[in-house]
Amino acid sequence: MYDSNFEICDMPLSLKSNRTRVERFLADNGLRLDDVDYYAAATDDDGNIIAGGGLQGNVIKCIAVGEAARETGLSNRLISHLIGMATRDGADTVKVYTKPDNSAIFESMGFRIIAQAPKAILMENGVKGIKAYTDYLHDMRGDRPDGATAIVMNANPFTLGHRYLINNAAREATTLYVIAVREDRSSFSYRERLAMIQAGCEELDNVVVIEGSDYAISELTFPTYFLKQVTDATDTHITLDLDLFARHIAPALGVTTRCVGSEPIDALTARYNELMQEQLPQRGIKVKTIERLVLDGKPVSASRMRQWLADGSLSQAAALVPQTTDPYLISHLACDALRAELNTTPKPGLVDRNDNGAHRDMNLAMMDSSIDTLQPFFTSLALYGSSCGENFEVPDAQEVRRIGIDAEAAMLNTTGGVNTHRGALFAMGLTTLAAAWCQVRDVLVGSKQLRELIMQVAGQFAPTAGTHGNEAVNAHRVTGALDLAKGGYTQLFNNWLPAYRDYLAQDASTARHRLLLLIMSQLDDTNVIHRVGYEQAQRVKQEALMLLDNYSTAGMEAMNRDYIARNVSPGGSADMVALTIFIHSILN
C-alpha cells in the first residue's frame, strides 16, 4: 500500500529509457503507448511507475494507475495535473479515451460521455466541446426539415470522384450536407480542402458544405484513419466515430441517410463502410453506397491523383479533378519544385540537407518553413489567375503586387527577417498565375501561351530600386530577374528545360545537380555578383561549366567547400532550377 503524497513529474518520452519504462508500465495494465505530446508519471521509492498519463493536444491518453495505488486518490491527482497542463496550453475543453470501467472516475471530475464502444469511451469536460459544434450545426440547418442526407469526406484533394458522389447523392436528397474532415496531416491543408469542396459544390442549390470538427473522422475520434492501416484498435475507433455521428451530428442536422462511395482500394475505408452498414441502420440512419466513378478502367482516387502530382505531371493530375481544383494543384507543384531544389544535395554554396552552404543566417528548416508560409499565397495567385482566365482578362499587376507584398511580409515574419525566397516568390508567383490562367482556358498548358502571359504581366512591373539585384543590373548591364520575366524566360524554355528533360532521361538521380551547373554556367547571377563581384561571378560560370562537362558528386562537394570559403552562393541560379522544375511539371 502507498501513501498519497507522491510527486507527479514530467517523463520525456524522447529519452529511450523513459519510453521503455512507460511502455512496460502500460503493458502491465493492459494498455499500449499511443502518440502523445506529453507524459507524466508518479514513481515509488524504487523508481517504478505506479501511475501515469499523457496528453496529445487536449486529449488525455494512456492513463493508468497500478493496482496497489488505486485506493490512494492518485488517479484524481494525475487527471487534475493533465487537465491543468492542457488548460495552461490554451485548451477550453479536455477529452479522454478510457475504458468503460473508468467512467465513474472521470464523471466525478466533470467529464461526460460523448461516444462509446464496447472497449472504449470518449469523454470530455469544459464549456464548449460537442455542444458548441452541434449549435453550429443547428445554425447551418436553419429551418430545413428532417430527412436530410450527409456525406463526410476528406477530399485530399477534391476529385471528379468526389463530385460524382455528391452529384449522385444530391439528385435524390432534399438537402445534402457535405462535412469536410478537419485535420492537417493530409497533403492538402484543411482550409484548402474545405475551399475545394465549396467550389466544387457551388452550383448545387441543395448542397450545404459543413465545417469539420474533432467529432467526425478526426484524429480524436478515428486516429487510425490517418495511419491508413487496419489494426486491432480500428473497429473501436470506427465505432466511436459512428456513435458520435449518430448521437450528435445526425440529430442536429436532421440527417436520416448517409452516403458513401464504394471502396475497392483502401482496406481501412472499406472496413469503415462495412461497420457503417452494420451500425447506423440500428440507429435509424440509412446507409447508401454509390459506386465509384471509373475512368480509363480505373476508379478515380485522390491517392492516384497525388501520385501524378508527385511524378510532376499537371496534365495527368488535372484529368482526375474538376477545374475548380486546378489552382490548388498548381500551387502545390510550385512548392514541390521549391522543395526539390532545396533538397538537392550536395549543392555548391547553397543550403541543402548537408549544410547551410555560404549562408550564416539560414538553414534547411528555415527554408522549408518559408515554403510552407508561401504556399497559400501561391494558391491565391493561382485562384486569381484562374478567375482572370475565365473572363479572358490579363491579370492586373497591382493585384499581383498586393498578393506578393503580403507573401513577402509573411515569409519575413516566419524567418525572422531573413530573405529566403524573395526572388523565387517573384518568378514562381508569376508562373503560378500564368499557369492557372492557361489551365482554365485549355486542359493542356502550352509553353507559348504560358510565356506570353508571363511577359504580359511582367511587362506591367517597374524595376524595384534599392535591391541588390537592381544594383547589379545597373552597374554591370546584366539581365536581372524582372527582365528575365519580361523576356518570357527565353533561356529556360530554349535551353534549360530541354536539357533538364535530357538529364532526367539519362540519370534522374543527378538531373537536378546537372541542371544547377548548367544554369550557373549561363546565368548572370545577381546574387553572386552582389556577394563577390562581377569578375568572380564570371569565374563561377566557368567553374560550373567545367564541372558539368566532367560531373561527379565529389566535384560538387569540393565546389561547395570552396564556395563556402569564398562566400559564393548562386541563389539566382537556385531560383531558376526551381522554376525549370515547376515549368516542366506544368507542361508535362
The residues with which 53 forms a beta bridge, in sequence order, are 40
Work out the pLDDT band at 236, boundaries 50, 70, 90.
confident
Total H helices, total E strands in the chain: 25, 14
Q: Tell whether the model's pLDDT for residue 242 goes beyond 70.
A: yes
Work out the pLDDT band at 1, boundaries 50, 70, 90.
very low
Cα separation, 189 vs 96, in Å, equals 26
Mean predicted lDDT score pLDDT of the chain: 91
Cα separation, 276 vs 177, in Å, equals 17
Give the mean pLDDT of 248-273: 92
Quote the cell numbers at residue 38. 506529453
Q: What is the DSSP letter of 206?
A: T
Q: Tell whether the model's pLDDT for residue 16 goes beyond 50.
A: yes
pLDDT tens for 209-234 read 999 998 887 766 655 544 445 566 78
Element (H, E) at 482: helix 481-486
The residues with which 257 forms a beta bridge, in sequence order, are 149, 286
Quote the cell numbers at residue 282. 440500428
The residues with which 65 forms a beta bridge, in sequence order, are 51
Q: Which residue has the higher pLDDT, 518 or 232?
A: 518
Q: For the packed helices 571-587 and 447-458, what is the interaxial angle rounded to 10 degrees?
A: 130
Give the mean pLDDT of 353-369: 96
Cα separation, 125 vs 93, in Å, equals 6
CB 230 within 8 A of CB 267: yes
Work out the pLDDT band at 469, boundaries 50, 70, 90.
low
Instruction: Give the model's pLDDT for residue 226.
Output: 42
Longest pairwise C-alpha distance within the chain: 85
Instruction: Give the model's pLDDT for residue 263.
Output: 85
Is 491 buried (19+), middle (13-18) or exposed (0-12) by CB count in 10 A?
middle
Instruction: Give the model's pLDDT for residue 228.
Output: 45
pLDDT tens for 72-126 read 778 888 889 999 999 998 888 999 888 888 888 889 889 999 999 988 899 999 8
Instruction: Give the model's pLDDT for residue 113.
Output: 94
pLDDT tens for 135-158 read 999 999 999 999 999 999 999 999
Distance of CA 119 to the CA centre of its chain: 33
Share of the chain above pLDDT 90, in %: 73
DSSP string, 353-411: SS--TT-SS--HHHHHHHHHHHHHHHHHHHHHHHHHHHTT-PPPHHHHHHHHHHHHHHH
Cα separation, 170 vs 173, in Å, equals 5
- The owner of cell 515554403 is 371
Instruction: Give the model's pLDDT for residue 516.
Output: 98
User: At a CB cut-off of 8 Å and minimum separation 6, what does 547 contact?
Assistant: 517, 555, 556, 559
Give the mean pLDDT of 433-442: 92
Q: For the packed helices 234-244 and 267-279, what is the interaxial angle rounded to 10 degrees?
A: 50
Instruction: Give the model's pLDDT for residue 29.
Output: 86
> Which whole-number Å values give the CA distances from 497 to 89, 217, 350, 355, in the listed order?
49, 43, 21, 28
Give the mean pLDDT of 359-364: 95
Share of the chain above pLDDT 70, in %: 94
Instruction: Give the model's pLDDT for residue 355.
Output: 96
User: Smallest Cα–Cα separation from 395: which of 410, 378, 383?
Assistant: 383
The residues with which 177 forms a beta bridge, in sequence order, are 150, 208
As a residue count, the chain comes to 588
Cα separation, 317 vs 314, in Å, equals 5
The model scores a pTM over 0.85: yes
User: At a CB cut-off of 8 Å and minimum separation 6, what does 311 contact?
Assistant: none
Instruction: Give the model's pLDDT for residue 165.
Output: 97
Instruction: Give the model's pLDDT for residue 227.
Output: 43
Cα separation, 512 vs 416, in Å, equals 29
The residues with which 180 forms a beta bridge, in sequence order, are 153
Cα separation, 19 vs 52, in Å, equals 12
Q: Which residue has the higher pLDDT, 9 or 329?
A: 329
